[in-house]
Amino acid sequence: MSSSVVAITRTSKGPSDEQVEEAVREAIRLLGGLDDVVPEGGTVIIKPNVAAAPIHVSGKYYDGAVTSPAVCRAIANVVRERPARPIIAESSAVSVDTEKAFKATGFLRLREEGYELVDLKRTKPVSVACPQGKIFKQMTTYEPVLKADAIISVPVMKTHEQTEASLGLKNLKGLYTDAMKKRAHRRQLFQQVADWATVVRPKMVVVDGILGQEGLGPFWGIPIEMDLIVAGKDAVAADATAARIMGYEPAEVGCLKECAEHGLGVMGLDEIELAGQSLESVQRRFLRPFEDERARIKNFTLLWGDVTCTGCRNDVVSALFGLRYTYKVEDEVEGLTVVVSNAEIPEGVKEDRLVTVGRCVPTRNRRGRYVPGCPPNTVRIVEAMLGRPVKRSYASE
């Protein structure tokens, strides 16, 4: 069977844990099982996305930001039948206590049921060479990651302010130590995710498309129920298929494009064999981060350049959302002009009311409060808009 087979299975609306397991099992069956994923008696790291607990925004909690425990339980059950040892492991976002995130998102129940649930931050950090890396030649992770025979990445289907979509390959960044996460976000995010995937290349991706997010993901997005499981042993192909389901062309997703160019898998529609549900029957265009109306601010000038990519666009919009809902200081940016990438600066704009954003800003225009980066950090954009430092949330690193 081709390694670029991608399985799409569907549950009923609002599925039970048993129905989720049935869909996961069917997807793995369509891929030919786990015999070529992990040896008998081997160890599998099942890596969900539990970056943090759901975010509270304007009186309501925004779910769909983390992987469902039911999906991880189902994968672990199939791994046990190999037989092999499944370890559900995560290192939550910078400054987030992983154990607290496990508790808030229902993962602690898995430990109570006898599944091995590991907070990687409480294990030994180790350094690993990245010989194919273009950004980093040395990276840091945790000992259980390097000792495992296989990694199965289990992301949730959601949009992301910096990468358009956050799927299986981007999810691998959660295997970094906190110090490495900080370093990574200061460098070219798309490329270094591809670098990392050459070191911890997943043997399988299982995308949790039961409940995800659209709009301002990865934390503040709008919950969207799709009731899908998307799985593949070619991580690029699996992510490309999930991206297409969300209404993206795979090349629009920066991390995915870089991983394909690294030769880590294929993303062309004619290179992928689909099994199960048809693509057309499950597609639904997700609201893009920059389209989220909740980030609109009055009495504020925002100018996009004609080379502005989604990284800058989404981060600026996310910063505006943060000003309104996280920091509640939108009145402080009244009269501000934000110029992104190569947009022209209007005449008469005072330097103290000007913010320029992104690596693509011409040198002559890096005036006012300039925010570098590709893509730039959201909180740094907020700080530039306000002209002062703010308390950093876990979503900023």
Question: What is the DSSP secondary-structure string of 342-380?
Answer: TPPPPTT--GGGEEEESTTS-GGG--SEEE--SSPPHHH
pLDDT tens per residue, range 168-214: 999 999 999 988 987 776 567 788 899 999 999 999 999 999 999 99
Q: Assess contact for 152 and 46: CB atoms under 8 A.
A: yes
The CA-based angle 269-48-232, given to 5 degrees, is: 25
The helix/strand/coil state of 138 is: strand
The helix/strand/coil state of 171 is: helix
Which CATH superfamily does the domain covering 5-287 fall into? LarA, N-terminal domain (3.40.50.11440)
**Of 13, 109, 114, nearest to 68 (Cα)?**
109
Domain range list for the chain = 5-287, 290-396
Q: What is the pTM of this model?
A: 0.85
The count of C-alpha atoms lying within 13 angstroms of the C-alpha of 96, restricted to the half-sphere facing its C-beta, is 28
Averaged pLDDT, 238-243: 98
- In the prediction, which pLDDT does 188 show? 73
- In the prediction, which pLDDT does 61 show? 45
Tokens 């996961």 belong to residue? 24
Averaged pLDDT, 53-77: 79
CB-neighbour burial class of residue 202 (10 A; exposed 0-12, middle 13-18, buried 19+): buried
pLDDT tens per residue, range 338-373: 999 999 999 999 999 999 999 999 999 999 999 998
CA 192/CA 7 separation, integer angstroms: 28
**How far separated are the first and last CA of the chain, in Å rounded?**
40
- In the prediction, which pLDDT does 187 show? 63
Q: What is the residue-averaged pLDDT of the chain?
A: 91
Per-residue b/e over 233-249, b at no fewer than 16 CB within 10 Å? bbbbbbbbbbbbbbebe
Say which residues have a Cβ less than 8 Å from residue 368's Cβ, sequence separation at least 6.
Answer: 349, 351, 352, 353, 354, 355, 356
- In the prediction, which pLDDT does 295 show? 79
Q: Where are the alpha helices (DSSP H) in the chain?
A: 17-30, 69-80, 98-105, 108-112, 143-147, 168-171, 178-185, 189-199, 235-245, 254-261, 279-282, 310-321, 378-386
Share of the chain above pLDDT 90, in %: 71
**Integer angstrom CA distances of residue 25 from 32, 87, 191:** 11, 18, 33
217 pLDDT tier (thresholds 50, 70, 90): confident
Q: Give yes or no for a cis peptide into 376 (omega within 30° of 0).
A: no
Say which residues have a Cβ less than 8 Å from residue 362's Cβ, sequence separation at least 6.
Answer: 342
Q: Assess contact for 175 and 144: CB atoms under 8 A.
A: no
Token reading at 144: 């259980």
Averaged pLDDT, 146-172: 94
- For residue 59, pLDDT over 60 is answered with no
Residue type, 308: T
Residue type, 76: A
CA 158/CA 64 separation, integer angstroms: 8
- For residue 261, pLDDT over 80 is answered with yes
Q: Assess contact for 104 and 56: CB atoms under 8 A.
A: no
**Of 375, 360, 355, 366, nearest to 312 (Cα)?**
375
pLDDT tens per residue, range 31-58: 999 999 999 999 999 999 998 876 555 5
